Amino acid sequence: MNNDQRNGHKIIYLEKIRKARGEEWNFLAILKDTKRIALAIETRTCALCDTMKMCVNKTGLCAACYLNLNPREKKVADEEAEHKKIQLLATDDRWKKKEDE
């Protein structure tokens, strides 16, 4: 079994992402980028690891990335999430009037 797989879930190492993207790349800048976070929530794609997940929280991160943030990064993510409003829209195609009638 691959070391990066556990119970069928991919393990994400933020240290590797930080190293691969270089020193100038900053998690705090991404966490404060409201447009990017809103898009991540809408598309259910984590803003840090770019993985499509079923659950991306109000911070725009998947659970794995959120849990691996350091305390300072978590504080910034939580402060930014306080300003987000998530609206769910449930529709049913049976509610539409048939145009054929």
Backbone angles phi, psi at 29, to 5 degrees: -65, -40
- Check whether 5 has a pLDDT greater than 60: no
pLDDT-above-90 percentage for the chain: 5
Please report the pLDDT score of residue 81 as a whole number: 87
- Check whether 59 has a pLDDT greater than 80: yes
Q: Calculate mean pLDDT across residues 1-9.
A: 55
pLDDT band at 92 (very low <50, low <70, confident <90, very high): confident
Q: What is the pLDDT of residues 16-57, one digit of tens each?
A: 776 666 544 577 888 888 889 989 988 989 988 888 888 888
Q: Which long-range contacts (CB under 8 A, 24 or more apart) does 38-42 make?
A: 38/84, 41/84, 41/86
| Domain ranges for the chain | 5-95
Backbone angles phi, psi at 5, to 5 degrees: -120, 130
In the block, tokens 């794995």 appear at 64
pLDDT band at 1 (very low <50, low <70, confident <90, very high): very low
